[in-house]
Structure 1
Amino acid sequence: MTSTDISDLRTALEFLKTQDGELQTISQPVQAFCEISAIYAEKAGGVPVKPPTRQGPAMLFERVMPVDQPVVLGVFGSRERCAAYIGTTPDKIADCLIEASKNPLSPRYVDTAPVHQHVQTEAIDLSRLPIPTVTSDDAGPFVTLGLAMAKDPNGNGRNISVHRMCVQGPDTLTIWMVPGRHLESFYLAAKAQGKNLPIAIHIGLDPAIYMASCCPSPLIPLGFNELDIASRLRGRAYEIASCKTIDADCISHAEYVLEGEITHELIPESQDAKYSLPEFLGYNGKVHPGLPVVKIKAITHRNNPIYQTVIGPGYEQSNLLAFGLEAAILDFLRKHVCQRVSNAYCSPAGGGYLLLFLQFQKQNELDDGMVRQAALAVFGAFKMIKQIVLVDADVNVFSEEDVWWAMTTRFQVDVDLISVTNVLGFPLDPSQSPVFSPTISSQGLTAKAVFDCTVPYRLKAAFARVEFS
């Protein structure tokens, strides 16, 4: 079996079975409340999960209680695994996304869909799904890999994106829409028209769809459907069908689809919980005081559906965030600064979002300034990036150890450190507070740094690495 045979979550798991050590199946019963997440965090979670943890296989739990249904975690738990899904290598994932964004392939409509093999429109009860609660401090069970697909009420296309949703009742979720993302703009447009926003929430999909869904602006402008990128990654158009109860479309080979509407009603994420759920940076998230309510109109699913989830922090979430951001940064720099940026890596130490390694191929002394200009341009265009490490082409940008080697032997703090203070950062970074640093004037601002670990071009020969032959 090869990557070209993958068309949905099921075939992706069959593909993993052919890869040595990439999928572990657990047949004994485990609980959806905390147990499944604790097992995965230790065995395969990875940084920023608190030690002990490590990189491990995807894990298919066949009997998740109390509903006795299967749940899979770790589908995106390593870059090698993710690259294999789309038939490439880990260093080429970003370039594949860039190429797919320039050659999109629209999905095609079908009349019948496997996800409609079972349709429930009455007595909706989300507790019948094996939705995990990650820790005992959480606000409740969370749908963490719910891929939302919605249409722009103003007629400017559709969008797919992943958002966290907390179960509030048998047919009720709250949704936290990432500020500035396209789904929020669709919701606000519908609200301005006095309407709810129909939304199809997908659980369990071809990995290529999730990977494409996390591509940010400016790589993906408003109205551009990331499903078109996923289709190009996969090499064929995905099938979509009309939902059963709402004016929206769904991806036909999803394991589950929750059909619903984002309403104008706002309620707290929890009335009494201390935290929401673990955030991707490894800290407990704050409970939101008021989030939009999603009312579920129908639950549809395939025969013997497989529920897919992530635990929050760890390699899996970091990889999903990193791939699209790396592609967007490379595309931006190549268009606006220089063509000599070779690759980008958003380290899981920053949750795939805050810590960036950039690799350059210098050709002359002018490039000594160009690489620094590129880093500062990234800060201007991507406010979530907090620290940037610049390295030469002879450093493996995907190896944390090799980057630290460059930091140790090619960096002098008095000449190679560039700091930028009191600028906008990413809201979930807990250090960006006047309490943490007196240079921060107000909550939400931060200090950023560039670590130039490239060799000055005139000294290139003196810093040649040993060749073994």
Structure 2
Amino acid sequence: MRTRRIMTDNSNLRTFLSEIAQSEGLTEITNPISPDLAVTEVLWSFEQAHEKPAVWFDSVNAIDGTEAEYPVVTNLFADRKRCAQALNSTVRDVGLEYYERERQQRQIKPQRTESATAPVKDHVVTGQNCDLSTLPIITHHEGDAGPYITAGVCIVPSPPDKDWGYNAATIRLEYRGPRELGLFMIPGRHTASYFEAYEENDEDMPIAIVLGHHPTFHFGAQTLHSIDIDEYNVIGGMRKSALPVVESATLGDDLLIPADAEIVLEGEVQAGDRIEEGPFGEYAGYYGDQAADRHKVRVSGMNCRSDAIFHDIFAGHPDHLNLGGIPIEGRIYDSVKETVSSVENVYLPPSGNCRQHCYVKIDKKKPGQGRNAILAALAPYDLVKHVIIVDSDVNLFDDRDILWAIATRSQWDKDLIAEGGFSSITLDPSAENYEITARGGIDATMELDEEYPDRLESAGIDVEEFLDSATKTLDMPDR
């Protein structure tokens, strides 16, 4: 294992890898390794040691057992600091920075590029020559149905009878054969609505699966907009620059793909056809919906760089959680600010899967603001179950400090809000029949009309010279 340095050429995944290689280094695993649980076992070991490195695997076998041509990079989003770096922000403010970019609704149309200059067109295969078994697709957990593409951003064009533009979404894809994938689309989400429009006309839905791009591409795919907004334009706004695109190998201008991606698969989601998909280890830390008939992707083409990098996301772990949680924080902040103008920050911690727990810091000015903030924080996003409101002196990013505030500044007979009967997601096993959940919060702020003792604090004395002289000994020091 060593720290890897990587050269960069354009504003893409390689740009970001170069930045983090220079700032903290990429952890490189040089020994050949199996994609079947071994890769994620390495990531488990880092996580159990409370380490969050971005990891580069030099030699991961392909599904067919041969040595894959592509190195695998994973765990990029595991550290909130790297997510902040991708958005030119800070650990504290990255959620607010994301929301500011989203709220501005700045849209930059993609820039058309010629195939001859598009890196993703270095190597193109179509039809029977397209074989997914040559890719190092990872099996993440023992109970998973099989290998899964977890970092694929699915791009679909507007149905012919609509004027919706391109949609982008990160969706899990199960490897089902050399040219087949199982696709898990959540009913009611935009991708599912696109497919319904295609299927109503007995048409297959074109799809491009983007594997490997700058994190702003992934964050752009997480934005919430009305269905008629072209999300290629939204991604451009998130990047603050036009996204280079090029025609696809099998559908030409009818399906434009990112020109500087690492790998782009092309295909169609089959109308009127289903395939068994699942189970899969999901963000809540449990295996999600069990095997069921879901949508089938028939892969017809693959575009990739000559030295392509395969990007994987460690599902159900911080690499997965941060990508979904950070985009929510700013929306909650905005909702709370309408009610409590002195709100300072919002954080969705990994302890709640970056979705179900929400910490809100306020500078409390009058009684009742803590309770108002709880209700406002629950409003924007139905996955949030538990809201904790704290004072300005509490470290929002330290679970111990949050629990300390609950222990010393709240009384549950008057500071707890709880209400049942809310619709739930199917991934919450504590919900009634996986459908109905309770939501609420705790006001762990100090009462304004009560005098609290001073909190213990460091004296701020410079002790660096003493720490420099510190040593460990196995014997009692001489007296």
Please report the TM-score for the alignment, with normalisation by the length of structure 2: 0.86
In structure 2, the CA distance between the partners of 1:144 and 1:63, relative to structure 1 (3 Å rule), is: same
In structure 2, the CA distance between the partners of 1:5 and 1:307, relative to structure 1 (3 Å rule), is: closer
Mapping of 1:157-196 within 5 angstroms?
Answer: 157-196=165-204
- Tell me the equivalent position of 1:13: 17
Equivalent residues of 2:219, 2:238 under 8 A apart = no
The answer to whether the aligner puts 1:116 opposite 2:117 as a matched pair is: no
Distance 1:460 1:392 in 2: 14
- Tell me the equivalent position of 1:438: none
Mapping of 1:52-451 within 5 angstroms?
Answer: 52=48, 54-65=50-61, 66-68=66-68, 69-101=70-102, 102=104, 103-112=106-115, 113-123=118-128, 124-153=130-159, 154-215=162-223, 217=224, 220-246=225-251, 247-270=254-277, 276-334=279-337, 336-363=338-365, 365=366, 368-433=367-432, 442-451=433-442
Q: Which deviates more, 351-360 or 315-324?
A: 351-360
1:117 partner amino acid = D
Distance 1:397 1:88 in 2: 17
Equivalent residues of 1:396, 1:403 under 8 A apart = yes
Distance 2:255 2:311 in 1: 22
- Tell me the equivalent position of 2:463: none
Q: Identity over the aligned pairs, expressed in percent?
A: 28
In structure 2, the CA distance between the partners of 1:348 and 1:225, relative to structure 1 (3 Å rule), is: farther
Distance 1:130 1:166 in 2: 13
Please report the TM-score for the alignment, with normalisation by the length of structure 1: 0.88
Q: Which deviates more, 194-203 or 107-116?
A: 107-116
Distance 1:117 1:328 in 2: 40
Per-residue CA deviation, residues 354-378 of structure 1 (Å, 9 max, x unaligned), is 1111122223x1xx32432332244
Cα RMSD (Å) of the superposition?
2.3
Equivalent residues of 2:268, 2:299 under 8 A apart = yes
Equivalent residues of 1:333, 1:341 under 8 A apart = yes
In structure 2, the CA distance between the partners of 1:53 and 1:159, relative to structure 1 (3 Å rule), is: farther
In structure 2, the CA distance between the partners of 1:267 and 1:157, relative to structure 1 (3 Å rule), is: closer
Q: Secondary structure of 2:441's partner?
A: strand
Per-residue CA deviation, residues 258-300 of structure 1 (Å, 9 max, x unaligned), is 1111122443435xxxx62211111123333111111111011
Per-residue CA deviation, residues 367-415 of structure 1 (Å, 9 max, x unaligned), is x324323322443432111111111222221221221121121111111
Per-residue CA deviation, residues 31-58 of structure 1 (Å, 9 max, x unaligned), is 01111111112214xxxxxxx4533211
Q: Secondary structure of 1:100's partner?
A: helix
Distance 1:455 1:464 in 2: 12
2:449 to 446, 458, 467: 458
In structure 2, the CA distance between the partners of 1:259 and 1:409, relative to structure 1 (3 Å rule), is: same
Distance 2:324 2:411 in 1: 31
Equivalent residues of 1:6, 1:206 under 8 A apart = no
1:186 partner amino acid = Y
Q: Which deviates more, 388-397 or 101-110?
A: 101-110
Larger Rg: 2
Q: Secondary structure of 1:323's partner?
A: helix
2:28 partner amino acid = T
Per-residue CA deviation, residues 75-95 of structure 1 (Å, 9 max, x unaligned), is 111001111122210111122
In structure 2, the CA distance between the partners of 1:193 and 1:265, relative to structure 1 (3 Å rule), is: closer
In structure 2, the CA distance between the partners of 1:18 and 1:373, relative to structure 1 (3 Å rule), is: same
Equivalent residues of 1:385, 1:425 under 8 A apart = no
Offset, 1:313: 1.3
Per-residue CA deviation, residues 229-265 of structure 1 (Å, 9 max, x unaligned), is 4434433222122212122221111111011111224
2:286 partner amino acid = Y
Gaps of 5+ in 2: 461-479
Q: Secondary structure of 2:150's partner?
A: strand
Equivalent residues of 1:269, 1:276 under 8 A apart = no
Offset, 1:461: 6.8
In structure 2, the CA distance between the partners of 1:292 and 1:88, relative to structure 1 (3 Å rule), is: same
Offset, 1:324: 0.9
In structure 2, the CA distance between the partners of 1:333 and 1:198, relative to structure 1 (3 Å rule), is: farther
Equivalent residues of 1:167, 1:173 under 8 A apart = yes
Q: Secondary structure of 1:293's partner?
A: strand
Equivalent residues of 1:55, 1:315 under 8 A apart = no
1:7 partner amino acid = S
Query: How many residue pairs are counted as aligned between the two chains?
Result: 440
Distance 1:301 1:265 in 2: 30
Equivalent residues of 1:269, 1:287 under 8 A apart = no
Equivalent residues of 2:236, 2:243 under 8 A apart = yes
Distance 2:201 2:109 in 1: 28
In structure 2, the CA distance between the partners of 1:35 and 1:183, relative to structure 1 (3 Å rule), is: same
Equivalent residues of 1:355, 1:386 under 8 A apart = yes
Equivalent residues of 2:183, 2:297 under 8 A apart = yes
Equivalent residues of 2:374, 2:442 under 8 A apart = no
Distance 1:198 1:172 in 2: 14
1:151 partner amino acid = P
Equivalent residues of 1:149, 1:159 under 8 A apart = yes
1:162 partner amino acid = T
